Amino acid sequence: MTPLGPPKLAPEGTPFSVARYLDNAAEYLKPIAQDHALRLKPYDIRQPDDGTWGHHLYGAAWDRAFAIQVTANDAGADMFSATVTGFVLHYVKGVEEEWLQIECRAVNGMAQLVTCVQQLLQALRLTCVWRMAHVTDPDSKA
């Protein structure tokens, strides 16, 4: 387990419990990001009005982008609780792009976070491989 020392990555104004949780989560997510060629964007979710902060892991498979979002709030971070959500970028006729939520799970602790992220990563890659309609696919009504 990584040491929980003082938060280092958190932007100013982030509650201590959230910063401690998400800084620790970032340390666990870095090896996953490196092993699977993902981009980790720490603290790119900052919604203090909602009490929510979080990270994203971005990746792609079969020319389709996907993202895994890890969010914590000031109510659950003390208990090391977070929400992990998986999205796939989908193109819809008349709309340039739309992020489709594939799955959302509540996790407790770092071990559950890592397991959930790895499972979601596999599910998102399979979703991309199954070739949902893509903007570069021919229009079936043309």
How do residues 12-52 score in pLDDT, each as one tens digit? 888 999 999 999 999 999 999 999 999 999 999 988 888 89
Domain ranges of the chain: 16-129
Residue 49: DSSP 8-state: T
Look at the block and give the residue holding tokens 């992220």: 117
Q: How far apart are CA 40 and CA 59, in angstroms?
A: 9
**Per-residue pLDDT tens digits for 116-129:** 999 999 999 998 88
Chain mean position to CA 129: 19
> Helices 109-129 and 16-35 meet at what angle, rounded to 10?
50
Q: Which of 118, 124, 119, 123 is nearest to 59 (CA)?
A: 124
Beta-carbon contacts of residue 75 (< 8 Å; ≥ 6 apart) = 51
Q: What is the pTM of this model?
A: 0.85
* Contact between residue 104 and residue 124 where contact means Cβ atoms under 8 Å apart: no
